[in-house]
Amino acid sequence: MTTTETRPAPATEPPPRPGWGNWLVGLARRLWRQLTSMRTALVLLFLLAVASIPGSVLPQSNVAVEQVQNFYREHPTLAPWLAKVDGFNVFGSPWFAAIYLLLFTSLIGCVVPRLRDHYRAIRSRPPKAPARLDRLPHHAEVPDFDGDLSDVAAALRKRRWRVVVSDDSVSAEKGYLKETGNLVFHCSLLAVLVAVALGSWYGWHGNRILVTGKDSGFCNSLQQYDESKLGPRVDEGKLPPFCVTLDDFEASFQSSGQPKHFRASVTVEGDGPTHSSTFSVNDPLRLDGASLYLLGHGYAPILRYTDRFGKTQTKEGPFLSIDGMQTSTGAISFPDANVDPSTGKRDANLQMGFDGIYMPTAPAQAPFLRSDFPAENNPGLLLTAYRGNLGLDAGIPSSVYRLDQAQINTGRLKPVGEGKLLKPGESWTLDDGSTVQFVGTKKYIVLSVRHDPGQGIALVAAVLALGGLMGSLFGKRRRVFFRLTSPSPTSSSRLLEAGGLPRTDYPGFAEEFASTVAAVREKT
């Protein structure tokens, strides 16, 4: 009798549970696949375009400081909220940079694998002809063909087909321009993003109101700009050394008040020998790697104030335009007025400030609030005089284009005369015997000085992107095959069979296929 020993089956251990490391790796792979998909790239490109809209609609502080200040005056409630979300610095905001970096990463993830695949496709040979050409979307036969496959190949090469000749057939392919153009377009977008990054890192800009006259010139230093910004990799001490003085500004207008022609004449020092130059709105002045752009213009009224002790001071102040007719608002302060000559002490409560509206062409009758034309046909300055503490001694930064409204609201600065319209040369006597005279005006320009090392790259990339887009839209991938057969072993005539296959949607392929077959037939 045989005894069979039964042993218990070994206990099977449960499969190990995936750890946090594997889960995180899997999550990262899924996120990367999603980020580098073409759909995500298109969504990010759309978001970047949408995010750029506020930068085009709202005034930007790095381009037009005076327009931002006007926006604050016109929308005192909305402007602070927009400033909190970088509405006046859209292209330098963190949220715009986040979209920008995600798009950059997504495009790289999309383009690099496609470049590799496209390179392999270009290097590969067209596939062999299928066994049944009559099953292709386009088919044709040429009976009694007198030539051979070399004649077919020659006819196709003449029509710019990539040709491969095998034992009994010819394969030809055309239309790589579509994918090439698509890749050139996407690579150009990457180049544009790189150019923007270069401009942000190594670029700098500054805005300045420049009044005519030798005493109002400026040199390329951050301290002399009204607003400026340096890239994080720019050394302030290495800015190009040059100085600019505005000699004259010419402006002409249409009868409707629309601008027709602007031209500024300047004297440049430091950029080689001292020389004179001119530039206009669409014709910037190039100086040692920097470009000077003419953004706007206006008028700077000149006031001569004689205080109660007979001391005379003359000052000028740029007034900022508030409409297309160059109606301008501004302020001119005299903090050193009414100094007692016997003691030499200044009373801070006897400082003078003048708030005004300047009209290049004042209306013929009241109300004198808006100019009728942007040229100085009938200049008028509507002044309001204030006496008191201007608030300049507190060390708190304030605008030079208006008086401190907080000082007026608290009564430290009180109006002593309102609504006096002065023409050039006219004077106004105040309650304490002091006088203010409207001497005239000087012209000024709003100047933007910029250096952008990525500008040339962006221009070339934009041209290439346009060319690539055209190639992507008009390029069509297609293949044709030809096979030479004999109806029977004893027959001397041969049959040339042709088949065509469009790889993309190409409504005109039937006509091209027929013309290609006709060209092969004529070759023989």
pLDDT of residue 268: 93
**8-state DSSP, 378:** B
CA distance 270 to 128: 70
Look at the block and give the residue holding tokens 């109806």. 487
Pairing of strands 138-142, 427-429: unpaired
Q: For 236-276, give the secondary structure using H, E and C.
A: HHHCCCCEEEEEEEEEEECCCCCEEEEEEEEEEEECEEEEE
Structure tokens that stand for 436 in this block: 């203010």
Residues 158-184 as b/e (b if ≥16 CB within 10 A, e otherwise) read: eeebbbbbeeebbbbbbbebbbbbbbb
pLDDT of residue 327: 94
- What is the rounded average pLDDT of the residues 487-511? 79
Whether residues 276 and 341 fall in one domain? no
Give the model confidence (pLDDT) of 94-137 as tens digits. Answer: 898 889 888 888 888 888 888 888 888 888 888 889 989 989 99
Whether residues 318 and 403 fall in one domain? yes
Query: Nearest Cα to 175, choosing from 161, 186, 185?
Result: 161
pLDDT of residue 10: 59
pLDDT of residue 326: 93
C-alpha Rg value of the chain to the nearest Å: 38
Whether residues 288 and 358 fall in one domain? no
Q: What percent of the chain has pLDDT over 90?
A: 36
Q: Among 12-21, 223-232, 437-446, whose mean pLDDT is lowest? A: 12-21
- What is the rounded average pLDDT of the residues 310-339? 92
CB 515 within 8 A of CB 478: no
- What is the rounded average pLDDT of the residues 29-48? 85
* Tally of structural domains, the chain: 4
Give the pLDDT band (50/70/90) at residue 182.
Answer: confident
Whether residues 367 and 504 fall in one domain? no
Residue 164 belongs to a domain: yes
pTM for the predicted model, two decimal places: 0.69
Query: Nearest Cα to 246, choosing from 278, 201, 285?
Result: 278
Whether residues 218 and 235 fall in one domain? yes
Give 68's strand partners: none
Residue 121 belongs to a domain: no
Q: Is the pLDDT of residue 210 over 80?
A: yes
Give the pLDDT band (50/70/90) at residue 493.
Answer: low
Q: Spell out the residues 6+ positions from residue 95 whose beta carbon is closer than 8 angstroms to its own.
A: 51, 85, 86
Whether residues 213 and 273 fall in one domain? yes
CB 506 within 8 A of CB 478: yes
Cβ neighbours around 345 below 10 Å, total: 7
CB 332 within 8 A of CB 302: no
Q: Which of 116, 149, 183 is the last residue of a domain?
A: 116
Residue 19 belongs to a domain: no
Residue 186 belongs to a domain: no
Give the model confidence (pLDDT) of 135-159 as tens digits. Answer: 999 999 988 888 888 889 999 999 9
Give 214's strand partners: none
pLDDT of residue 1: 46
Whether residues 267 and 342 fall in one domain? no
Cβ neighbours around 229 below 10 Å, total: 17
Q: Is the pLDDT of residue 443 over 90?
A: yes
Residue 220 belongs to a domain: yes
Residue 360 belongs to a domain: yes
What is the pLDDT of the chain when averaged over all its residues?
Answer: 87
Residue 3 belongs to a domain: no
Give the model confidence (pLDDT) of 394-408 as tens digits. Answer: 766 677 888 988 889
CA distance 7 to 370: 108
Whether residues 306 and 411 fall in one domain? yes
* CATH code of the domain containing 510: 3.30.310.80
Whether residues 312 and 365 fall in one domain? yes
CB 251 within 8 A of CB 297: yes
Give the model confidence (pLDDT) of 360-380 as tens digits. Answer: 999 988 888 899 999 999 999
User: How many CA atoms does the CB half-sphere of 492 hold within 13 Å?
Assistant: 0
CA distance 495 to 145: 6
Query: Nearest Cα to 169, choosing from 160, 156, 188?
Result: 156
Residue 17 belongs to a domain: no
Structure tokens that stand for 164 in this block: 């491969």
User: How many CA atoms does the CB half-sphere of 442 hold within 13 Å?
Assistant: 20
The residue count of the chain comes to: 524
Q: Is the pLDDT of residue 521 over 90?
A: no
Cβ neighbours around 57 below 10 Å, total: 9
Whether residues 202 and 282 fall in one domain? yes
Q: Which of 66, 83, 116 is the last residue of a domain?
A: 116
pLDDT of residue 5: 56
- Interaxial angle between packed helices 20-35 and 94-123, expressed in degrees from 0 to 180 and rounded to the nearest 10: 80
Q: Spell out the residues 6+ positions from residue 141 whose beta carbon is closer than 8 angstroms to its own.
A: 495, 496, 497, 498
Give the model confidence (pLDDT) of 233-243 as tens digits. Answer: 888 888 888 99
Give the model confidence (pLDDT) of 66-79 as tens digits. Answer: 688 788 888 888 98
Whether residues 454 and 378 fall in one domain? no
Domain that holds residue 48: 24-116
Give 142's strand partners: 496
Give the model confidence (pLDDT) of 263-304 as tens digits. Answer: 999 999 987 889 999 999 889 999 888 999 998 899 999 999
Whether residues 216 and 270 fall in one domain? yes
